[in-house]
């Protein structure tokens, strides 16, 4: 029988690396939203229906930052599902726990996951409003998943993947327009934009993974009100059928770099490593994931 040596009074070296209690990509402070429906720490088990709340793995850090009234409640920090127009043609879980969304290509439809102003109860609007009006902070946003519908060359316009605020007030992120391979729409450059990176934002193969992120300093004049803080995929009208993506969402994260103390490069390195490990590496949480239903081309 193997024996174990126990030394009374022996203390753990405080300088030793700390094991992440939730996920090693997280900073020790500064998370606003860490949404991963298939994460084993707090998997999303609710119905894929409008009004359902998703777990926010960064809720404790978010609550510490926003310092909202105690009566606000935890749901203020959890994003909710809501339909954009009609329900998506396909809305289901992937084999490994992601959310697979395919909007219609003939009827205005889509899905939004987020902290959306007027669609939430009054006591739940405070967090989204705080995020859009806090001054002197810089923000990082990333999202990644897996394409399930390949897109042809775009005509005019484009589609929007993730939004915080509207117009130039904060940032409409990850928009793809005619002839573009993926970009951050606002800010377009200068000192406001801190960094941007993407991988496979124009899908090259069915079920191929993608990653996109950005960091920026908000322009808060004038301050927006009741404007979406959300991840979204939608088809607005029949003229945009060729711009309607379908994909599995694995992660959507928002980090306050001012609070976390990380630079864009540091945040990117941490979250991109998680994406690579979970999605692209054999044995990863979402490696080789499949969907029950294949969207129409």
Q: What is the largest CA-CA distance in the chain?
A: 73
Q: By three-state DSSP, how is residue 114 classified? A: strand
**Residue-wise pLDDT tens digits, 210-252:** 888 888 777 655 555 556 677 877 776 656 666 677 889 999 9
pLDDT single digits (tens) 7-31 = 444 444 444 334 457 899 999 999 9
Tell me the two tokens of residue 102.
């395919």
Instruction: Provide the residue ranges of all domains of the chain, joining segments of one domain with +.
Output: 31-280
Percentage of residues of the chain with pLDDT beyond 70: 68
Please compute, for residue 204, the number of CA atoms within 13 A of its CA located in the half-sphere on the CB side.
6
CA-wise closest residue to 245 among 159, 180, 183: 159
Average of per-residue pLDDT across 110-114: 86
Between CA 148 and CA 246 the distance in angstroms is 5
Instruction: Give the Cα separation of 210 and 162 in Å (integer).
Output: 14
- How many angstroms separate the CA atoms of 201 and 129, rounded? 30
Closest by Cα among 169, 194, 140, 195 to 30: 140
Domain 31-280 has CATH 2.60.120: yes
- What local confidence, expressed as pLDDT, does residue 270 receive? 97
Q: Is the pLDDT of residue 5 over 50?
A: no
Cβ-Cβ contacts under 8 Å for 12 (sequence gap 6 or more):
none
Indicate left, alpha or beta for 236 from its phi (over 0: left) and psi (-120 to 50: alpha): alpha
What is the structure's pLDDT at 209? 94
Write down the residue that tokens 């959507």 correspond to. Answer: 252
The pLDDT, as a whole number, for residue 75 is 86
User: Are residues 139 and 216 in contact, defined by beta-carbon separation less than 8 angstroms?
Assistant: yes
Q: What is the pLDDT of residues 139-181, one digit of tens each?
A: 888 989 998 987 655 544 445 566 665 544 455 555 454 444 4
Helix residue spans in 76-164 (DSSP H): 126-133
């Amino acid at each position: 029988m193997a024996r174990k040596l126990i030394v009374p009074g022996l203390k753990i070296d405080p300088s030793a690396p700390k094991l992440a209690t939730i996920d090693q990509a997280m900073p020790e402070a500064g998370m606003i939203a860490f949404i991963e429906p298939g994460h084993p720490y707090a998997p999303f088990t609710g119905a894929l229906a409008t009004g359902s709340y998703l777990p926010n793995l960064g809720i404790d850090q978010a609550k510490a930052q926003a310092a909202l009234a105690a009566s606000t409640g935890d749901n203020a920090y959890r994003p909710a599902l809501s339909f954009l127009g009609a329900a998506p043609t396909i809305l289901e879980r992937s084999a490994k726990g992601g959310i697979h969304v395919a909007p219609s290509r003939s009827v205005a439809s889509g899905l939004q996951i987020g902290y959306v102003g007027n669609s939430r109860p009054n006591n739940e609007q405070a967090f989204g409003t705080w995020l859009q009006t806090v001054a002197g902070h810089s923000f990082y946003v990333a999202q990644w998943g897996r394409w399930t519908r390949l897109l042809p060359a775009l005509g005019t316009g484009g589609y929007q993947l993730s939004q915080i605020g509207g117009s130039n007030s904060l940032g409409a992120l990850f928009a793809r327009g005619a002839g573009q391979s993926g970009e951050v729409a606002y800010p377009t450059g200068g000192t406001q934009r801190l960094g941007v990176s993407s991988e496979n934002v124009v899908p090259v193969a069915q079920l191929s993974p993608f990653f996109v992120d950005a960091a920026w300093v908000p322009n808060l004049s004038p301050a927006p009100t009741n404007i979406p803080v959300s991840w979204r995929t939608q088809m607005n009208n029949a003229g945009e059928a060729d711009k309607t993506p379908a994909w599995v969402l694995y992660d959507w994260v928002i980090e306050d770099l001012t609070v976390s103390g990380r630079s864009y490069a540091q945040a990117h390195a941490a979250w991109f490593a998680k994406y690579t490990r979970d999605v692209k590496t054999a044995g990863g949480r979402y490696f080789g994931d499949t969907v029950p239903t294949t969207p129409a081309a």
